[in-house]
A and B are shown apart, each in its own frame.
Chain A
Amino acid sequence: MILANDPLLAGHVGLVVVLIVVVKALITLGITLIATMLMIWFERKIISDLQNRIGPNRAGPFGILQTLADGLKVLLKEDLIPERSDRLVFRIAPILTMVPAFITFGLIPLGGDFSKGHGGAVKIFGHHTFLQLADPGAGVLVILAMSSIAVYGVMLAGWSSGSKYPLLGSVRASAQMVSYEAALGLSVLTVVLASGGLTTHGIVAAQHTWHWNLWITGLVPFVIFSLAATAELNRPPFDLVEAEQELVGSFQTEYSGFRFAIFYLAEFLNCVTMGAIIVTLFLGGPNGPVPIGPGWIWGFAWFLLKLVAVLYAFVWTRAAVPRVRYDQLMDLGWKILIPSALGWLLLLIAMRIGSDRNWPWFATIGISAVIAAACYGLLSLAQKAAHRNRALEGAID
């Protein structure tokens, strides 16, 4: 049913097949946990380089075991539950921040040879299978569903703490994450249009030999997706959810001990997962040249290389860009990202239809540009009129 696109499950499902699926699940879980641990170290190390500090350098070579040491320390700390909290929800909330990221990671093709029509399947114990845990037919929709579920953890953590700052933080979080989901979804639609399918495997397979969606969709969806993803992750410059100067620690304020550590882990886990989604949707996933040896090893290597590049960009942004104001955040989301994502999607659809009908491409682009300009004019007129009306009513200065 839900895994059915994998050739592993197409035939008779015997004991070996079940074992392969279980092993794949365990490996995926292991990869996510190790990746999260390394991501924490990576971020701390890179950001201290960018800020001219040394960063963690005590535990293990280059301080690589710092996360383990921190985890051990935090395990031994006292775990407080505030008096006025909603105890059940307070306990569930940290787990809810992790689960969607784990599920999403299961849909990411981690390796496999996609070059020259190999299709990305590898042979394990006489069975062909994809190097990803699951490949549901709804593919990227499941990813979008999980990213829309991710808001619950933050929101409920803030509410259940039973104090003011966490509540404010969770209200901010829910507004922000729901707002940017629209831009996220619209830019994913262009990828679906370019690849002609919803499954993550299909999207990666459609990007074989440098047909990356990055340029096939014309760069704009990639930029929009990256911005919206940063906002979904509540990472700087969009980390208003936990703006320390305004909200203490926001939704995490009342959390301590291991529950706090789970939030911390979840933040980086979500970061790795979002990076992997960007690699899958726009950067060709495990696609890349295979100079020598079996292709699936190169698939892993290319995937890892691209993932590290994307994650480095995340860290770099955090070090370089100051936090935006709340109204700037909402303006960027609603007035810039959503309209431009929508306009770009319509443009790509027009070009697709144009190439089917043999219209001259410059006419398609010209007419689309004129229509887009007219729409933009109408939109800004409407905004001006609304602003003037509000000023007349005295609701704003």
Chain B
Amino acid sequence: MEAVVFYVGAVICLLGAAGVILSESPVHSALSLVGTLFGVAVLFVAQDAEFLAAVQVIVYAGAIVVLFLFVIMLLGVDSTDDITVEPLKGQRVLAAISGLTVAGVLLFVVAIKGKVTGQHATAARDTPGVPNVEELGRLLFTRYLWAFEITSVLLIIAVVGAVSLARHRKDALVDHDLPHDDLPDLAVAAEEPAS
């Protein structure tokens, strides 16, 4: 039973991942990413990590990819963009190398070393019947309190930084350098939710 769930989830993940890199339109890529995230959520459920699955959907599919889509829509990126030009020199080669390295290491650990135990990966006690939210909450507020608090401080710093970077000066409100897009109104409409 668990194997069936795993294969279904894995196929969803892989199809989504392939969709992310193979789609021509950035919106299709973002939607494929949502597919991958759902596949991972299914795998979490199969591992009895219901809380993690729900949070995965809430945070990644419900907030982060929505923001991706928001930006893609506002910037009006479409498939006519020339993708043969490389904005950062050499990043494709580096990306290929690092991706292959990660895949190789994973394969080495899983297949060649033979260290797969088949046990559920847990830091908390995996007690049947006790909701894993309870165990996670207990751990977060006792053993991993510092990690938890430092992460939240990090997030606040990121938010403050983003806000201060995104603020408009008076002269920046009208951009003289760029020719206006065909949807100039959107740039104005976008400021409301961002501020």
Contact = CB atoms under 8 A, between A and B. Distances in A.
B15 to A, nearest CB: 15
B118 interface: no
A395 B173 contact: yes
Contacts, number: 105
A164 B182 CA distance: 10
A interface, how many residues as a size bin?
Answer: 35 or more
Interface string B37-72: 000000001101011011101100111001101100
Given A138-B50, A155-B69, A171 B186 contact: yes
Contacts of A151: 62, 66
B22 interface: no
Contacts of B27: 86, 89, 156, 159-160
A323 to B, nearest CB: 16
B133 A198 contact: yes
Contact of B74 (A145, A171, A393): A171
Given A86-B27, A181-B62, A395-B173, A330 B70 contact: no
Contacts of A168: 185-186, 189
Interface of B: 25, 27-28, 31, 34, 45-46, 48, 50-51, 53-55, 57-58, 61-63, 66-67, 69-70, 73-74, 131-133, 167-170, 173, 183, 185-186, 189-190, 192-193
Contact of A155 (B66, B131, B189, B192): B66
B164 to A, nearest CB: 11
Given A148-B62, A151-B66, A155-B66, A175 B55 contact: no
Nearest 10 A-B pairs (CB), nearest first?
A: A148-B62, A175-B193, A141-B54, A394-B170, A145-B57, A138-B54, A138-B50, A137-B50, A145-B58, A137-B131
A174 B131 contact: no
A145 B44 CA distance: 15
Contacts of B55: 141
Contacts of B170: 393-395
Contacts of A88: 28
A145 B54 contact: yes
Given A1-B45, A145-B62, A174-B66, A330 B193 contact: yes
A2 B45 contact: yes
A141 B51 contact: yes
A168 B193 CA distance: 13
Interface of A: 1-2, 86, 88-89, 136-138, 141-142, 144-145, 148-149, 151-152, 155-156, 159-160, 164, 167-168, 170-172, 174-176, 178-179, 181, 197-199, 326-327, 330, 393-395
A179 B195 CA distance: 12
A144 B25 CA distance: 29
Contacts of A142: 54
Contacts of B73: 155, 159, 167, 170-171
Contacts of B67: 178
5 contacts: A137-B50, A138-B53, A144-B54, A152-B34, A174-B66
A137 B173 contact: no
A171 B69 CA distance: 10
A168 B73 CA distance: 10
A148 B45 contact: no
Given A89-B31, A168-B185, A138 B66 contact: no
Contacts of B48: 1
B62 A175 contact: no
A86 B25 contact: yes
A148 B53 contact: no
Contacts of B46: 1
Given A145-B62, A198-B133, 13 more contacts: A1-B46, A86-B27, A137-B51, A138-B51, A144-B58, A148-B58, A149-B57, A151-B62, A151-B66, A160-B27, A171-B73, A181-B63, A198-B131
Contacts of B69: 155-156, 159, 174
A151 to B, nearest CB: 6
Contact of B190 (A171, A181, A393): A171
A328 B192 CA distance: 11
A295 to B, nearest CB: 26
Contacts of A160: 27
B134 to A, nearest CB: 9
A256 B31 CA distance: 24
Contacts of A172: 189
B60 to A, nearest CB: 10
A148 B57 contact: yes
Nearest to B42: A2
